[in-house]
Structure 1
Amino acid sequence: MAGDESHPANGGRLCVKGASLGETLGDDGRLLTPKVAGATVTWPEAIDSVADAIRMAVETHGPSSVAFYLSGQLLTEDYYVANKLAKGFIGTPNVDTNSRLCMSSAVAAHKRAFGGDLVPGCYEDLELADLLVLTGSNAAWAHPVLYQRMKASARPGRKVVVIDPRRTATSDLADLHLALKPGTDTLLFNGLLVWLVASGAIDEAFVADHCSGFEETLAEATAAAPTLEFVAEACDLARDEVEAFYRWFAEEERTVTAFSQGVNQSVAGTDKCNAIINCHLATGRIGKPGACPFSLTGQPNAMGGREVGGLANTLAAHMDYDTPGAKERVARFWQCDEVADGPGLKAVELFDAVERGEIKVLWVLATNPAVSLPESGRVRRALEQCPTVIVSDCIRHTDTTDYANILLPAAGWGEKDGTVTNSERRISRQRRFLPQAGEAKPDWWILSAVAGRLGHRACFDYSGPADIFREHAALSGYENDGSRTFDISGLANLSDSAYNSLQPTQWPVREGPHNTTSRLFTDGCFATTDGRARLVPVKTRLPEVQPDGKFPMIINTGRIRDQWHTMTRTARASRLLAHRSEPFVDVHPRDAEALGVEANGLATLEGDQGQFVGRVHINPGQRQGEVFVPIHWNRQFTGEGVATALTRSITDPLSGQPEAKHGRGRLTRWPARWHGRLLVRKNRPRRWRADYWAMQPMDACDSWWLAGRTNVDWPAMVQEWLGGQPQLVMQDQRQGRFRAARLSHGTLEAVLMVERDPALLPAVDWLADCFTMEELDEATRRCLLAARSVDTEDIGALVCSCYQVGEKQICRAIEEGANSVELLGEQLQCGTGCGSCIPELTGLVEQQVAEVNCSV
């Protein structure tokens, strides 16, 4: 896989996930045929089943008994057809998307401040800024391509502030890291506004000419954050650190504040975003090169979904239910009787309604709510009792497809044709280059076919995605006359060939000359009724759930470097699980010592709604009294490592976004009597049971991390674990060590390794390679129970996923003189791919140099 060097967003750069996409392709594990009640059916039969279920629900319980749950993985054309079918022709307003979980607070804040969901800046601004503020964003891992652009634009005098409770890989870019107390962002930015006024940094002319609400907002900020000392104490920061941040912000005209999930996923997410925007409006730092508030979106096409009304509280083409005449306008354009009354139910509310039995038909497209929504146990119970669950997906087994009555095989990445829109409002073509697997169909085709069965064929008679895009573009300009900023009517008459060759384009794209712009609000005119931006008074609202005697730890959740959402695609690439191969808990060293949990051991994190079991990582960058867990693992890959079992269904009252970044829990040692690794040839039946397990798919075998609370008679039980009699066995009962391997006709079938101490379990990369050999020679057989050949280099824990470079390799190279990231790249290639491992490389270099200096 290679990036498109001509694309303005990435210039050819790929993160390790993008570079690994080719490894996720293939039919293995794909949903290849439609299924109804578990039986394979034809497409006409499947479409009939979907249409019949919808028709019966509408006739018996009304249109609102049907709901759609969409995804930022859909293309814009898919999203458009789903929204049109649901809101325009079925008549249900209950259409929401997993984008609700990542950026709906930013949407609500944009609307309050600017009069519309409008991101004012562009990626170039991240490079032009003299002060770059990254808040609630571990961009090095979650937005690695953008992070590399930020890193490459470093220059003398440019300052970077990272605001995050944890010290993350992104902190390595920072001149100042503010490890604030979780949930105190509004206090910090209210305090900034007060400081800006006191230091004379307000752009009084801009505020007077282009803004409203300044006095009320300042009064609220002053009441909430009256002094710098108050802010520092409330945010648990040093006074000098807060003052430095405030002073830099006051001094630098070119300031970009980029914010993401750490800000959005909060009960006060909308207020946090507005507190940031308030500071930019008050200083006039918007609509200018290198100066803007910038929402870093968490999904590939969350912006495209917002354009077509994918959120339950919006209509297509950035129109809203509360705008007079908007519903009627959309109905006229679509030629339907009327658009559903709304707003509909937002994601958490939607699944609450499913649990109450109010939703009779739920259609889930390209997402996995059984893992991604908070209180995931309750979500699974809701799915189980819903009369009809329809799931369109490209993967056969997910936590959500397991509850489906009707399964519809959807085209996957590389098989789909359409457009996406990124965080800087840039529309890009995704062109199909693979045949559709099995009987898979594009989502727009499936939705249109159902619409046809429901009697609306004429309004969904699309011959391809170009037809849909033209209609979407035309609606954006329909009865617009400049009243709506989202306007791509200049693309409404594209021919099929022009659509196919469409170059990356930022909206708006109106008809006529000078029809587009890379930045919005350059003239100080906003999308409100009077053209003035709104500063919004923001009160302090801390997280709803606070630690107590029963649950004393704050839980922070988030993404890791090599995974994406709930692993349904990324787990198909074995190298993406090499860096972090099982669920884990990051713990501060003092907390680990106080609680009796050990590095590499297992721990249980118990919360209000459930529990999480993961490997302990001691991390001094973690705030004391707080832990971090990754969001990605699902029940296909672990027994009790689902992060959403720990978070509650508490939402921002304006955006409906869940407080997914914050929970509380109790951390205790998981009492393991033994730890093990099991490697079994792929697709073999699982005959064993373990108290703890996590699966790591590899190229030719499946690898399992295992642990048990009780002792096992391994010689007596080994056949059950290996699927047959082993040919090689080694046991040291006193040390708690057992190893066995089973071969069949000279090929390796399974290997089991058990230790009392998990640190003694060997790496399994060499063993995994043995499964690719048609027949093992005698020398290889003798090495199986050692898990490595005498000729094989022990690379240690993987650091660079792009080039499969391990920690021991890196440390040896540093000892031999490659004592910089650049020299390591020249010698081992690590850090020269996506660059996500550079912070770890830097840390290893610094550690090694420090050890040498200490020894001297």
Structure 2
Amino acid sequence: MSQEVKSTCCYCGVGCGVLIRAEGGVITSVRGDPEHPANLGRLCTKGASLHLTAGTANRLVHPALRPARGEPAQGVAWDDALEHASERFAQIIRTHGPDAVAFYISGQLMTEDYYVFNKLAKGLIGTNNVDTNSRLCMSSAVAGYKQTLGADAPPSCYDDIDQAGVILIAGANPAIAHPIVFRRIEDARVANPDLKVIVVDPRRTESAAIADLHLPIKPGSDIALFNGMLHVMIGEGLIDETYIAEHTEGFAEQAAIVAEYTPMRVAELCGIPASDIVRAARWFATRGPALSLYCQGLNQSAHGTHNNAALIQLHLACGQIGKAGAGPFSLTGQPNAMGGREVGGLANLLSAHRDLANPQHRAEVAALWGIPEVPAKPGKAAVDLFKALASGEIKAVWIACTNPAQSLPHQAAVRAGLANAEFVVLQECFADTDTAAYADLLLPATGWGEKHGTVTNSERRITRVQAAVPPTGEARHDWQIVVDFARRLGRKLDHAAVDRLFPYASVEEIFNEHRASTAGRDLDITGLSYALLEQQGPQQWPFPQGATAGRARLYADGRFPTANGRARFVSVQHQATAEQADKTYPLSLLSGRMRDQWHGMSRTGIVPRLFNLEDEPLLQMHPCDMRHRQLEDGDLVRLFNRRGEIVVRVAAGSGLVRGRTWLPMHWGNRFMNGAGANALLGDAVDPWSQQPELKHTTVEVAKSGLEYPLAVIRRCTDLDDALRQLELARSLFDEFPYATASLYGRASPLVVFRAATAAPMPAALLQTIDATFGLTGDTGAIVFSDARRHIAKKAVALDGQLLGVRLAGETQALNWLRQAMAEGELDASLLRFALAPTAAPPASLAPRQIVCKCADVSDDQIISAVAGGADLAALQDTLKCGTFCGGCMPDIKRLLTRQPQQHPEAA
């Protein structure tokens, strides 16, 4: 029996609603929920492929315990697993005190999961050592809002995009990181041709491509830019003096600071024309409602809090807040980072936006939980938490739904901390994350499509999440695992109130307790309930008792949640990045997201078509920087600094100025021989938010000296087979100074393995490679060998279909061969080219262009369907193109207008 269940996407903070179709306990498809206000039915490439991640091949399905570090984990019963965990934690707490243990959790948990983790640490154990990967994501946005507006409450909503007169995008690339928000920006430009878009980014990104004004500032110079814009606004009388006088404080002090930030000085600090600074200021102040959208480019900085404050102050100075189309709007990175903040899921927070440092707030939470007190000692934020593991100050850590062995900066130090810990618990969906290798105990948690609870998106909108299928294997809901563990631990510690602290028999009971804790707070949701969310759909907070709807925009009355009701101007000055380029490390390395991948790719990395854009990590450089180092497109290079080195392929990047490089942050040990970009990034943190500077470091690039390339492409029967082959490919990483492995393809998944060595590969290594990929023997084999040039190639066919190809010493045909195998268009004549390529591939294989990336539909598929009589409705019904994010609709309509004779089959 088929059913469709409402849920949300588990990727970014846009919070798109999805409809999950399941049949027989198996997820079969997903589509955007047309009734969800966040996306109105749209989905991006990642969301549109969610159903393809719902298999079991790489899932953690049973609790598992390692007898000793380095040994394989062995399956255990849930009771034994939790008894062991509670005994180890109890022993450490009794011996070393409650601050000897810690919890590191995730912005992808449900709000209810977050709540019980927070209560476990701060209420039962008595430690504030509970932090989250939101520390890497949104903590500077939190601190920026609190310093200026008084509370962690984004004042704007998605509808403001439609009504803005100018949109300032700073330190964000929504075209890639928040695609559905970007579609809305594109729609707004069509509806209002007068709309101005300003993009502030050191790189000319996909978002900057639509900008009326792109400001490619020097990394870390955001405060200088915003102070310079405020200087112009004050000097030209563009500020709202009445609003400033009636609703803010501290303006005079900041005005005195920005008096020094003349356009000429700021132009020097930022590396952009002074005229562009003036133009940006005038547009912001005069073009109608001003909306700013910002994300990790501001947050992930050693001065991220003041980056945020400097931008927010532009809104306060112009009165551009609390009204339609205006306001500072932080784009949340993770699907429920906001929910975690709401329940105090950071080491410095308590439930309902209370502050740990506030004695009254601690007393309120203690009374709510029925305990004598909440500890006052600050907890360890993420970076310090893992340093404390390395030093031995923290002995045990419980990690849930996150992958610090890939995501945190300065990976060598993080991994040293994990290796030094006495006891590491990993509560996770996936068995093969980088962090899993360090876990003593692995606990299987439910994943997307199986979970239930609530999440909050970037615009403060709470959505009720329903499970579409039962848990996989023995997986349990995160809140259930925490509650069971808490009860066991409490009894071992003789905690008299443990049963009263954790009485929950259902997830709704947890929500109701959280709801009660918000009474009278800025995020009051006492008027919400599961029943209301299910009947009336997602709702924004605040939604107090008696309300009939949430509040779309905050601060319309000019009153702010501060002691005197006024917003604050904060005295902020330009600060440089934590590391400055010098003769040894003359290049800036910027890190960022790819459109089709998410975090460490534990989920997106199992979808072949999500690698079709890029299936290996590519370092982008300015062509001049490449020429200076005698580098060409496709060369393998050493990317290094004082913290480490990785080997990656280089490509000329048209969006970069000289001295800047860019590398995606997603790649780690699961897909390459190395820890990726985060191995090179430093652990300097913002003093207010404790968020690390994950966006910038300094590096040098040099030729790798790896002159002998290897590539293997292996066709797989299905996804399970592909994931098994991918795991086998990873087993070869240690054999090579450079190696990557990924999936690729459309209907038929491929595994693509790349490697390189400094010297020709010996025959024994080639035999090992062939055996790993099932390419041994002479049956169905075609071999090409050139001993003089150390080239050795082999192709193996099975049952009339090409099984795989190994190219050693020369890989010119790799990209062409990869596409041909993915399209199933490889005959004997084309295979001869692959093994002994000429200057160009045969013309019989036309280049493929994917028009609808969400549904993975190519131009030739659309042209063929149109030649057969399909109209737009038929294309959407049969191919599903244009039914997800909508970004491909102009191209589809263009193809619909082509004359039939233009298609080769119709000629």
TM-score, normalised with respect to structure 2: 0.85
Matched, 1:198 2:235: yes
Matched, 1:753 2:807: yes
Matched, 1:712 2:786: no
SS of alignment partner, residue 355 of structure 2: coil
For 1:848, the equivalent position in structure 2 comes to none
Residues 786/14 of structure 1: CA separation in 2 closer, same or farther (3 Å cut): farther
For 2:252, the equivalent position in structure 1 comes to 215
Deviations 1:138-175 (A, max 9, x none): 11000000000111111221100001010010012200
For 2:163, the equivalent position in structure 1 comes to 128
Kept after mapping to 2: 8 A contact 1:718/1:725: no
Residues 832/785 of structure 1: CA separation in 2 closer, same or farther (3 Å cut): farther
For 1:847, the equivalent position in structure 2 comes to none
For 2:91, the equivalent position in structure 1 comes to 56
For 1:595, the equivalent position in structure 2 comes to 629
Kept after mapping to 1: 8 A contact 2:46/2:854: no
Question: Which residue of the other structure, out of 212, 215, 225, is the alignment partner of 1:178?
Answer: 215
Question: Which residue of the other structure, out of 514, 539, 551, is the alignment partner of 2:585?
Answer: 551
Kept after mapping to 1: 8 A contact 2:124/2:501: no
What letter corresponds to residue 460 of structure 1 in structure 2? F
CA distance in 1, matches of 2:689, 2:890: 34
What letter corresponds to residue 768 of structure 2 in structure 1? E
For 1:658, the equivalent position in structure 2 comes to 692
Q: CA deviation at 1:343?
A: 2.5
For 1:581, the equivalent position in structure 2 comes to 615
Q: CA deviation at 1:56?
A: 0.9
Residues 669/779 of structure 1: CA separation in 2 closer, same or farther (3 Å cut): closer
Kept after mapping to 2: 8 A contact 1:375/1:647: yes
Q: Which has the larger displacement, 776-785 or 29-38? A: 776-785
What letter corresponds to residue 432 of structure 1 in structure 2? A
SS of alignment partner, residue 520 of structure 1: coil
Q: Which has the larger displacement, 201-210 or 322-331? A: 322-331
The 5-angstrom pairing of residues 103-502 of structure 1 reads 103-154=138-189, 155-223=192-260, 225=261, 227-454=262-489, 455=491, 456-477=498-519, 480=520, 484-491=521-528, 494=529, 497-498=531-532, 500-501=534-535
Deviations 1:42-88 (A, max 9, x none): 11111111111111111111111110001011011111111111111
For 2:654, the equivalent position in structure 1 comes to 620
CA distance in 2, matches of 1:165, 1:278: 22
CA distance in 2, matches of 1:341, 1:211: 31
Q: Which has the larger displacement, 725-734 or 204-213? A: 725-734
The 5-angstrom pairing of residues 421-820 of structure 1 reads 421-454=456-489, 455=491, 456-477=498-519, 480=520, 484-491=521-528, 494=529, 497-498=531-532, 500-501=534-535, 503-513=537-547, 516-640=550-674, 642-680=676-714, 681=716, 682=722, 683-684=724-725, 685-686=728-729, 688=732, 689-698=735-744, 700-713=749-762, 717-723=765-771, 724-726=776-778, 727-733=781-787, 737-742=791-796, 750-756=804-810, 758=812, 761-767=815-821, 793-796=845-848, 801-804=853-856
Kept after mapping to 1: 8 A contact 2:48/2:855: no
Question: Which residue of the other structure, out of 61, 75, 100, is the alignment partner of 1:32?
Answer: 61
Q: CA deviation at 1:129?
A: 0.6
For 1:834, the equivalent position in structure 2 comes to 885
Question: Which residue of the other structure, out of 26, 46, 51, is the alignment partner of 1:17?
Answer: 46
Deviations 1:645-699 (A, max 9, x none): 1101100011000011010000112223222321345425457533311111245
Q: CA deviation at 1:745?
A: 6.8
Structure 1: tracts of 5 or more residues without a match: 817-823, 843-856
Kept after mapping to 2: 8 A contact 1:675/1:758: no
Residues 427/761 of structure 1: CA separation in 2 closer, same or farther (3 Å cut): closer
CA distance in 2, matches of 1:429, 1:508: 16
Kept after mapping to 1: 8 A contact 2:543/2:550: yes
Kept after mapping to 2: 8 A contact 1:287/1:521: yes
For 2:121, the equivalent position in structure 1 comes to 86
What letter corresponds to residue 200 of structure 1 in structure 2? G
Residues 730/839 of structure 1: CA separation in 2 closer, same or farther (3 Å cut): farther
Residues 137/412 of structure 1: CA separation in 2 closer, same or farther (3 Å cut): same
CA distance in 2, matches of 1:341, 1:168: 44
For 1:849, the equivalent position in structure 2 comes to none
Q: CA deviation at 1:340?
A: 2.5
CA distance in 1, matches of 2:364, 2:879: 60
For 1:821, the equivalent position in structure 2 comes to none
Q: CA deviation at 1:738?
A: 3.3
Residues 162/832 of structure 1: CA separation in 2 closer, same or farther (3 Å cut): farther
CA distance in 2, matches of 1:148, 1:359: 45
Q: CA deviation at 1:570?
A: 0.4
Residues 153/382 of structure 1: CA separation in 2 closer, same or farther (3 Å cut): same
Residues 172/579 of structure 1: CA separation in 2 closer, same or farther (3 Å cut): same
What letter corresponds to residue 430 of structure 1 in structure 2? V
Q: CA deviation at 1:413?
A: 0.3
Q: CA deviation at 1:498?
A: 4.5
CA distance in 1, matches of 2:831, 2:272: 58
Kept after mapping to 2: 8 A contact 1:763/1:796: no
Deviations 1:185-222 (A, max 9, x none): 10010111111111111111111111010001111222
For 1:70, the equivalent position in structure 2 comes to 105
CA distance in 1, matches of 2:397, 2:101: 6
SS of alignment partner, residue 487 of structure 2: helix
Q: Percent identity over the alignment?
A: 41
Q: CA deviation at 1:339?
A: 1.6
SS of alignment partner, residue 317 of structure 1: coil
Q: CA deviation at 1:796?
A: 4.9
CA distance in 2, matches of 1:358, 1:106: 29
Kept after mapping to 2: 8 A contact 1:719/1:725: no
Deviations 1:375-431 (A, max 9, x none): 011111110110000000000011101100010000000000111100100001111
Question: Which residue of the other structure, out of 133, 153, 157, is the alignment partner of 1:98?
Answer: 133
Structure 2: tracts of 5 or more residues without a match: 1-29, 67-72, 492-497, 717-721, 868-874, 894-907
CA distance in 1, matches of 2:788, 2:676: 35
Residues 612/831 of structure 1: CA separation in 2 closer, same or farther (3 Å cut): farther
Aligned residues: 819
Residues 719/707 of structure 1: CA separation in 2 closer, same or farther (3 Å cut): same
SS of alignment partner, residue 439 of structure 1: coil
Residues 757/835 of structure 1: CA separation in 2 closer, same or farther (3 Å cut): farther
Q: Which has the larger displacement, 737-746 or 628-637? A: 737-746
Q: CA deviation at 1:830?
A: 7.7
Q: CA deviation at 1:758?
A: 4.5
What letter corresponds to residue 34 of structure 2 in structure 1? E
TM-score, normalised with respect to structure 1: 0.90
Kept after mapping to 2: 8 A contact 1:674/1:757: no
Kept after mapping to 2: 8 A contact 1:315/1:321: yes
Kept after mapping to 2: 8 A contact 1:578/1:801: no
Residues 713/362 of structure 1: CA separation in 2 closer, same or farther (3 Å cut): closer
For 1:8, the equivalent position in structure 2 comes to 37
